[in-house]
Amino acid sequence: MQQRSSAGELAEELRREFERYSPGGKLPSSRALVERYRVSPVTVSRALARLTAQGLVVTRPGAGAYRAAPAATPPRAGDTSWQQIALSAEAAQGLPRSVDAGGVLATLAEPPLGVIEFNGGYPHPSLQPLQPLSAALARAGRRPGAWGRPPVEGLPELRDWFARDIGAAGEGSGITAAEVLVTAGGQSALTTALRALAPPGAPVLVETPTYPGLLAVARAAGQRPVPVPTDGDGVRPELLEAALRGSGARVFVCQPLFHNPTGAVLGAGRRREVIAVARAAGAFVVEDDFARRLPHEDAGELPAPLVADDPDGVVVHVSSLTKATSSSLRVGALVARGPVLERLRAVQVVDHFFVSRPLQEAALELVGSPAWPRHLRALSARLRERRGALAGALERLLPGIAPATLPRGGYHAWLTLPEDVPETALHAAALREGVALAPGRPYHPAEPGAGHVRISFAGVADPAEIAEGVRRTARAFAAVRG
């Protein structure tokens, strides 16, 4: 049984055996299950916990586990058809009330057992600082007041760390702790920023392609994502200016460093121009700096965040620890200057009250430990190794598809498909071959000019699995082409 699915597999196996036991019948002991299925005691404990949560098993301390009695009466089947009318009703602005999480769920859903996860949005456990995280969480729980209510803006020490960390990337930025709000990860920060900066019905400018979670946030808020084309050096300032003028938008969201999905870095000559264009239009730039802690070993010196060159408060900066650690360490930050900071704070308080204090304390313990810089160095080396494995496999097995260069940061590659390989057909064929790809359509706010696929090289176990995933992808290409 594989590590992440072994508890689920054992639970399924036990469920199939339940027919042998009458209600109230005692199941084999945990020790017997360990020996029979050759799994760890932790796996047995987790499998039984799943079955208990599903109401199939009852555990009695000191006595063992028993098959639960069936419910006395089956639940009454209700009629929920009325909800279709209620949920499709239009809001006061005349906008339909709908939320599409498909693009987000594609990176969160766990693929079936045996399927290689090329569509993942988070690092594989082998890339996570699991021991330092566990140690940090244990220490955090023992901190005085760790389970009390934190300040709504975040712990002062953590705000100060974010200010110093972000400021260190840009000399003379002058970012202070007073300009930082601690958030529950980057997605929460984006949600707060868009709700604070644009009302329902308003246009919001986004790069095209862009991160599907951003499009989902904007649409859930009733806003209209408006695409601004990019190239190898990021967003084109002249097209940004035209889009601001033509749409009347007052918000532009971008990822200037190792953009998701293209991997582009905003060109040095464009950085100040983007801020100047937005300032002239009276618009905010939301800088999603998600990949700051994901440079590869050969990335060289990184450009400073846009917020470092912005004394006038044009840029609202988003930072997060999640991508470089674990999907469950949902701790990030918003940085802003001027009256907008109070608007952001108010929206966050209304939506979330505050970020869990134990999680903030654990983040502080982690980033303040000697293990933190060691982890970042190791992650940088491993990402470079995995990028090389993907590049080599693509060159050998899909030479017509491989990009000329791969990003030197982040953990994905953006591939343009030939005209004879439709996205949807490739995605389905790849799943049949045992590999999950991320189709490109959800990354576009409007109709794309070509088919694409995004391959993540961080959600898999090692370079060998990357090579196997590309082999399966190549077979999928061949199947689609007939």
Q: How far is CA 219 from CA 58, 100, 199, 223, in A?
A: 44, 8, 11, 5
Q: What is the predicted pLDDT for the residue at 38?
A: 84
Q: Report the relative pairing of strands 57-60 and 64-67 from DSSP bridges.
A: antiparallel
Q: What is the predicted pLDDT for the residue at 449?
A: 75
Kindly tell me if the per-residue pLDDT of 3 is higher than 50.
Answer: no
pTM: 0.83
Q: Is the dihedral of CA 401, 402, 404, 405 positive or negative?
A: positive
Kindly tell me if the per-residue pLDDT of 199 is higher than 80.
Answer: yes
Which domains does the chain possess? 6-67 (1.10.10.10), 102-127+373-481 (3.90.1150.10), 130-367 (3.40.640.10)
- Whole-number Å distance between alpha carbons of 304 and 8: 44
Cis before 209? omega within 30: yes
Q: Which of 96-105, 212-221, 377-386, 410-419 has the highest mean pLDDT?
A: 377-386
Q: What is the mean pLDDT of the chain?
A: 88
Query: Could you give the count of Cα atoms lying within 13 Å of 465 in the half-sphere of its Cβ?
Result: 18
With cut-offs at 50, 70 and 90, classify the pLDDT of residue 177: very high
Longest Cα pair distance anywhere in the chain, in angstroms? Answer: 75
Give the residue with greater pLDDT, 278 vs 69.
Answer: 278
Q: What is the predicted pLDDT for the residue at 173?
A: 64
CB 343 within 8 A of CB 337: no
The torsion angle over the Cα atoms of residues 225, 107, 181 and 160, rounded to 10 degrees, is -140
DSSP state of 443: G
Which two structure tokens, joined as six digits, stand for 237? 């300032």
